[in-house]
Structure formats: structure tokens, C-alpha cells
Structure 1
Amino acid sequence: MIDKAMTAGPIPTSRGRFRDYVAIARLDHMTKHVFILPGMILAYVLLHPVVQAGPFRIFLGLLSAVAIASANYVINEWLDREFDAYHPLKSARTAVHRSLSAPIIYAEYMLLVIAGLALAMNLGIVFAWTAIAFVLSGLVYNVMPVRTKDRVYLDVLSESINNPIRLMLGWSMIAPHTVPPVSLLLTYWMGGAFLMAAKRLAEYRDITARGGAELLPRYRRSFGRYTAENLAVSCLLYAILSAFFLAVFLIKYRQEYIFALPLIAVLFASYFWLAMLPDSVAARPERLFRSRRLMLASFVVVGSLTVLTFVDMPFLNSLSEPSFLRVGL
């Protein structure tokens, strides 16, 4: 059942301490930056650039990404503190329980943004502009009057835009003067939208199962128009779109990867299966590593892509040409 304390809004708070301001930066969420890694790998595989991304450059790039992501988390937790009080898990967040200082919060946000952008300026124009887009995505998602997180469907699409942004950051660490193919960016975007919609579905199912359906719009306004059905359908739509753009990318840039598509489909299905479970870890992406089935599917996909990176199959070129079987002649 839903805790009765959540039905009354924010709970009494105590004075914030230094460690509370560190906590809202959510450094424990750095695992999400794993989405940067494919950008680095694909840039090297597809472009074979002259090695110019030494360890120090990559370190600076990752540090910049972490700083900007933490800035986005700071502003997110601060502006959401009154809404998070209605969520069974997020009601335990620091900003809900502690009385934090607004000037210190905004100073922390600005310090992290300045640090992230300062590092980004040393890594080339593509990385710099991508870092700026990363900052703007956090503002658009969290800050009024836009605050896309309150708008149905747009909340998922605007949150998942961080996936192609992270891909761009990784790519530009290796190939600073180019940008990834649009088909790859769209694949990442729609794949991220699938993950976010599945997360919403898991939250919706868990909270309504505990009798807290009336609290959902108080936690996030977009839930006022979501149902389990339209969330499930949106997951299907985003998965299909991601697969479509992925197929376009594979056929154009590395046809051998096409053999990994069935395994990627299994990975998507595994994640959707998780979202349908009670008390799903899909609602808490930072804990996904606890699902052995999902981790196994992920390792199989990564392994297959690794093998297909080094195995050339020239016969695929002829298979991609139009051909027709003639019968009865």
C-alpha cells in the first residue's frame, strides 16, 4: 500500500548538510554514461581515424559529461522536490527530506555547468556544441515555462534525447571533426524513448497496484493522461522505430551487423518483460545490472557486435541487390 504520509504532500524537513548537496548530484548514476561508449567504438570502427583520442582526452570528455549530467540532476531534484514527495521511492530523495538552500543549489548547478562546458571547450567544436545541447536539454526538461516532463509523450521524447547526445559526446572524443550518421542518432533516440516509456509503464503499474493511482498526476502531470495501455503501445512504437533506423544504419554502413538484429530484438523484449514485473527494476535503471537475464542478453549483443566488427562478409553486397524468382518460364 501507498504510505499515507505521501498523500499529504512534502514531509517535514531537516537542515541540509554538505553531503546532502553532494548527494543530489547523483554521482552514483554515472553508470548511465555507458551510452557514451558505443559512440567511441563506432567512430573508430567506421572512420578508422588517426589515433588522436589519447587517454587524457577521453578522461576530460568523461569528466565533462559527468559534470553536466550532475548539474542536470541537481536542478531536477531541486525543482521536483514537492512532486517527488508523492512517489513511493523518490519520496526518499534528499531534497524531499532536507531543507536545502536555494542560493547554494543554484550556485552548485552553475559551478557544475561551467566546469563541464570549460572542459568541453578543449575538446573541439562538435563536443562543445553537444555539451551545450546537454545543458539545454536539462533546462527544457525541468524548468518552466516549457518543462517538457509534464507533457504527455513529450516527457519521454525529451528525456531520451540525452541518449543521442551521449552518443555524440563519445563519437566526438574519437573523431572531433565529424558527426555520427543521422540514422544512428535516431536509432539511439528511439531506443532511449523505448527505455523511458518502459520505465513509465513500470512506475504506473507499481504505483496503481499499491492503490496510489490518484497520486500519479501529483508526482508527474503527464501521468494524468497516461494509461498502462497507451504506455505499452508507445513502447512498441519506439521499439519498431528504433529497429527501423537501426536497419537503415546497418545496411548503409556495416551490413554484417544485420545478423545481430534478432539478438537486439531479444534484448528489447527482455527489458519490456522486466517492465511488466511487479516492483520492476525498470523503474530504477541504475539497478538494471541486478537482472541476470537482461545482463546476459546485453553481453550476447555486445559479443555478437564485437565479432561482426572483425568479420567481413562480402556476399552480403549481392544479397542487398534486387532479385526475383521466375517461375513457369
Structure 2
Amino acid sequence: MSRVYANQNRFVGTVSGLAKEIRPWQWYKQSILILGLIFSENLFNSAAVTNVMLGILTFCAIAGATYIGNDILDIEEDRNHPRKKHRPIASGQVSIPVAIVFAFLLFVGGLAISWYLGPLFLLVVLTYLAQNALYSSIMKEIVIVDVMVIAIGFVLRAIAGVVAIDVYLSPWLVVCTFLGALMLAFGKRRHEMAVSNDPSASRPVLGKYTDEMLDQFLIITLSALIVSYSLYTFYGGDMRMMATLPFAVFAGFRYHFLIHTQQLGGDPKFLFSDRPFLVNLVIWGLVVIAILYQFPVRLIEMIA
């Protein structure tokens, strides 16, 4: 009987470990695919919404497979990290063979949905996979390049959201996504430097950064992001989008404030627990939708 309970506990532990390995709390990153849906004015197009949701599911599966692959490759480094040593693979909760099989199933499922969404979407997903492979094998060790590759991964997500619904890819979407992701990546590196007694032991590339360097990179990137978004509101096609500029500026400044005062740069999801940031984000989204979809005009027409 004790052996049965032991097997059941081992099975439950493995399943829960696999669930942790695919990082469901990181799936918010796939919401970037929605940007193309919103800014192309297809938010209320049911077919477009369905395709984007399938695209998000694809990236959740593919990202889960890459998380597992990275954790297998980085198992020794993770065991020296104060937080990552508790990950299921690093701690031994999930065996490497089981993790490989599960990653393979996620990978195949993601590719199947990608093919359903079209060859171009599949090409973006394959590019994303190649980017992840290059990052894990080579580029994560190259200072500055490491964070740029991470930012490119977010750009590929944004492009995938556009490709999934076959609409025009705005260069403003590419630029602003890249700069926003780059800012978050620099913030994460700064957090890792602050919380670790020996940063290079947990992530070798951190030994090539300094706190002052990362602070300068953050300021430069934040400035470029604000200027780029400002130019988008001026020249992106609807001058009324200038009304959203204060919210974008506040979001950037708020993030900069939080990573210096509360050390939230390690995982951007904690931004959603910051009430001022979250309220600002919601208001920004509502204003954007109101402008792009002409809600005031349509409401007046309905009343009239």
C-alpha cells in the first residue's frame, strides 16, 4: 500500500512539476499578439479574434517547450541561483527524460496549430524557435546581445499576431515593441544583479554588466521608447492618439520608479500587482479603443 501511495505522490509531483515548468504565470507575454488585433481595428471581428487566440495558444505551447529545453541546458547554473534552484528540473522533481517527452508533445502541438494558421505564421514560429535556440546556445553569453535577442522574441510575437489575421504590419508596432521589451530586459538584468551575491555564478553574462551601465541603458531605452511612441501618435494616422501619450509616459516612468524602489524588475508580471500601473494601463487601453473604434461617434449615432 505504501508503494502505491509513493507512486501516486511521485506522479502528482511530476505533473505539478511539469505544470510549473511551462510557466503559466509567464503566459501574459503572449498577450502581445493582441496588439495587432487592436490597432488594426479588428477587435470585434470574430474570425480575427479566433485566429489570434489560436496564435496565443501556439506560443504558449512553444514557449513551454523552450522553457523546458532551457532549464535542461541550464540545470547546473540554475542550481547555483538563489531562486531558480527550486525549479522542478533543477531540484529533481521532474526527471530529464520525462521533461523531454513533454516538451516534444508541446512542440508538435504548437507546430500543428501554426500550420493551420498558415505557412507565414509557421515561418514566424520557426524563426522564434531559432531565435530561442541561438539565445540558449550562444547569445545569452554575449553582453548587450543577450537582451536584444530577448527583445526580438517579443517583436516576433507581435508580428505573429499581425500575420495571424493577415493585416498590414506597422513599423511603429515593431519599433515600440522592441524598445518596450528591451527596457524590460534591462530591468530584469538589473534586478538579477541586485538580488544575487554572485551574479555571474547564476548567469555568466551578468559579470560583464555593472549597475551603472544598466541604469544608463534603461534611461536611454526609456527615452527612445517615449520618443518613438510620441512619433507614432503624431504620424501614425490618427492625431487623436496623442491623447494616449500621457498614459504611455506614466507607464514608462512608473516602471523605472518601481525597479529602483521596490526591485520589481525581476519579473514584469508584478507590475500587474501595482495599482497605479494597472489603473493607468486599463485607462490607456480604453482610450486607445475609444479612439480607434470611434466609440463616441458611434454612441452619438446610436442615440440620435
In structure 1, list runs of 5 or more residues that go unmatched.
Answer: 1-13, 313-329
Q: Would you say 1:24 and 2:21 are equivalent positions?
A: yes
Give, as a single letter, the amino acid of the residue that structure 2 aligns with 1:232: D
Return the offset for 1:179: 4.5
Q: Distance in 1 between matches of 2:231 and 2:105?
A: 41
Which of the numbers 135, 146, 156 marks the counterpart of 2:147? 156
Q: Distance in 2 between matches of 1:56 and 1:257?
A: 27
Give, as a single letter, the amino acid of the residue that structure 2 aligns with 1:76: N
Match of 2:105 in 1: 111
Q: Distance in 1 between matches of 2:283 and 2:49?
A: 27
Return the offset for 1:122: 1.0
How many positions carry a matched residue from both structures? 284
Secondary structure, in 3 states, of the residue corresponding to 1:276? helix
> How does 1:194-205 map onto structure 2 within 5 Å?
194-205=183-194
Secondary structure, in 3 states, of the residue corresponding to 1:110? helix
Q: Distance in 2 between matches of 1:54 and 1:256?
A: 25
Return the offset for 1:162: 2.0
Contact kept, 8 Å, 1:70 with 1:112, in 2: the verdict is: yes
Q: Distance in 1 between matches of 2:287 and 2:140?
A: 36
Q: Distance in 1 between matches of 2:15 and 2:287?
A: 46
Return the offset for 1:86: 2.7
Give the share of equivalent positions with the same residue, in percent.
22
Q: Would you say 1:297 and 2:280 are equivalent positions?
A: yes
Structure number having the greater helix percentage: 2
Residues 55, 272 of structure 1: alpha-carbon distance in 2 compared, 3 angstrom cutoff: closer
Give, as a single letter, the amino acid of the residue that structure 2 aligns with 1:244: V
Match of 2:249 in 1: 265
Q: Distance in 2 between matches of 1:96 and 1:116?
A: 25
> How does 1:170-209 map onto structure 2 within 5 Å?
170-174=161-165, 176=166, 178-207=167-196
- The RMSD of aligned alpha carbons is 2.5
Q: Distance in 1 between matches of 2:236 and 2:46?
A: 26
Match of 1:35 in 2: 32
Q: Distance in 2 between matches of 1:179 and 1:151?
A: 34
Q: Distance in 2 between matches of 1:76 and 1:254?
A: 42
Secondary structure, in 3 states, of the residue corresponding to 2:47? coil
Q: Distance in 2 between matches of 1:30 and 1:171?
A: 18
TM-score, normalising length from structure 1? Answer: 0.78
Q: Would you say 1:66 and 2:66 are equivalent positions?
A: no
Q: Would you say 1:79 and 2:79 are equivalent positions?
A: no
Q: Which runs of 4+ in 1 moved over 6 A?
A: none
Give, as a single letter, the amino acid of the residue that structure 2 aligns with 1:276: H
Q: Would you say 1:134 and 2:121 are equivalent positions?
A: no
Return the offset for 1:115: 1.2
Give, as a single letter, the amino acid of the residue that structure 1 aligns with 2:61: A
Deviations along 1:38-90, one digit per CA (max 9) or x if unpaired, are 12111236xx99x5725543442222121111112111222222212232222
Give, as a single letter, the amino acid of the residue that structure 1 aligns with 2:194: R
Q: Which moved more, 1:86-95 or 1:187-196?
A: 86-95
Contact kept, 8 Å, 1:184 with 1:246, in 2: the verdict is: no
Q: Distance in 2 between matches of 1:127 and 1:249?
A: 26
Match of 2:215 in 1: 232
Q: Distance in 2 between matches of 1:121 and 1:179?
A: 20
